[in-house]
Amino acid sequence: MRPVLSVAEMAAVDAAATAHTPLEQLIARAGAAVAQRALALLGGGYGRRVVVVAGKGHNGDDGRVAAHLLERRGVRVRLLDAASAPQSLPACDLVIDAAYGTGLRGGYRPPRPPAGTGVLAVDVPSGLDADTGAAEESVLASATVTFGALKAGLLLGEGPARSGEVEVAPIGLDLGRVTMQLVEDGDLALLPPRPREAHKWQRALYVVAGSPGMHGAAELAARAALRAGAGMVRLGSPGNAPDALGVTEAVARPLPADGFAEAVLEELGRCQALVLGPGLGAASGVAAAVARLLASSPVPVVLDADGLNALGRLAGAVDAAAPLVLTPHDGEFARLVGAPPGPDRVAAARALAARAGAVVLLKGSTTVVADPVGEVRLVNAGSARLATAGTGDVLSGVIGALLARGVDPLDAAALGAHAHGRAASLGHAEGLVAGDLPALVSRVLSQRH
């Protein structure tokens, strides 16, 4: 996993660095990294034209060092002060945005580069909130060189669209303990392999999902769990006849439409995890059954969809006997909290996790996963391909399977979301449906072998 820093954390890292490394040396390293990236974008130096827009702070210092180094390589550099730069920049082959970095406070109206000219941003595109990715106006960069570690704003909100290709340049900073990390493909290697002497009950999962007219949610969650490595899936859909559930490999269990919690608890002890909520509906007995299962489950629980709605607005910690993963989208988050997440999605997920005493997976273009003590995983593997009915049910099944495999809740949620997103990238660019995903999840997980 790659470290990701907030603005406050980056300021602390910078302060610690200057205690043992001269600031001028750090600026020289940063400027050299910018110049090197600029030369790569230009395809050489001699005769190329570069405009550097530099502010008065250290971000501007990085740009000024880069300008000097580029001039030594034969680049014709024009250095402009950010405070007085014209709104339309002069003709050039590349613009280097070194106006304002992570410490910008207030608005910034960036100058317009010449049509078709690339922009290289220093640390973050000027005007972009480095914590949230919010931007009323900001530089639209084709590439960004950031220092030491990724910044949260490069991954959230408008950040990915405004940062272009991001390169992390190591300049000798000691990051210390990092609380926020980006999940990458190689992290799937963290998943435990199936033991040589394994049997199906070692990774058993109970899925309680669906309702009359909503059996598809149950089928998607169960099929996804099986494809994500659950050895056994017991599938109960309150009010649906077992033979109505079309998952051949799952063991369908009859559950009454009302008061189904006791029937689940009688069999739950043989399983390692529980998925609860997709497609349960809002019948009068659902909320009571969900509360009973949470309070009595001996195994970790993934609570999704109608299971989340059954909680109502949270005044405090969820009464849960075992570790709990909540997987809200923005609407479900608003019902739990009383307001939507707002622009700072990391802070929102952390606050709900602390309040609920649970791992929270806040779905989005970049998914934020937080635990009650503030550890965060960011997942940017997803795409708009997942914006179709039933994909959340698949995600619940994947996370449930990883819990059943013994993965801790924070990593199960984050790695499950990453595999889910990567699976979508292997599917149809147009017309991907939730039913395509389970087999694609299996392909993603199988690539580790």
Q: What is the pLDDT of residues 195-231, one digit of tens each?
A: 887 788 889 999 999 998 888 999 999 999 999 999 9
Contact call for residues 276 and 410 (beta carbons, < 8 A):
no
Domain segments of the chain: what residues? 2-175, 185-446
DSSP-assigned beta bridge partners for residue 378: 182, 368
Query: Can you tell me the distance from the alpha carbon of 395 to that of 221, in angstroms, rounded to the nearest whole number?
Result: 7
Within 236-377, residue ranges assigned H as helices are 261-268, 286-296, 306-311, 330-337, 345-356
Query: Can you tell me the distance from the alpha carbon of 327 to that of 352, in angstroms, rounded to the nearest whole number?
Result: 11
Identify the pLDDT of residue 147. Answer: 96
- Which of 294, 329, 298 lies closest to 311 in space, CA to CA? 294
Reported pTM: 0.95
In the block, tokens 């979508």 appear at 424
For residue 284, CA distances in Å to 52, 70, 258 come to 64, 70, 8
Does residue 216 sit in helix, strand or coil?
helix
Q: Is 2-175 a CATH 3.40.50.10260 domain?
A: yes
Contact call for residues 244 and 215 (beta carbons, < 8 A):
yes
* Mean pLDDT, range 321-325, rounded to an integer: 98
In whole angstroms, how large is the CA radius of gyration of the chain? 25
In the block, tokens 């009383």 appear at 338
The CATH architecture of the domain made up of 185-446 is 3-Layer(aba) Sandwich (3.40)
* Mean pLDDT, range 359-376, rounded to an integer: 98
Task: Provide the residue type at 229 as one letter.
Answer: G
Question: Which of 11 and 294 is assigned the larger pLDDT?
Answer: 294
Lowest mean pLDDT among 169-173, 242-246, 445-449: 242-246
* Mean pLDDT, range 408-437, rounded to an integer: 97
20: left (phi over 0), alpha (psi -120 to 50) or beta: alpha
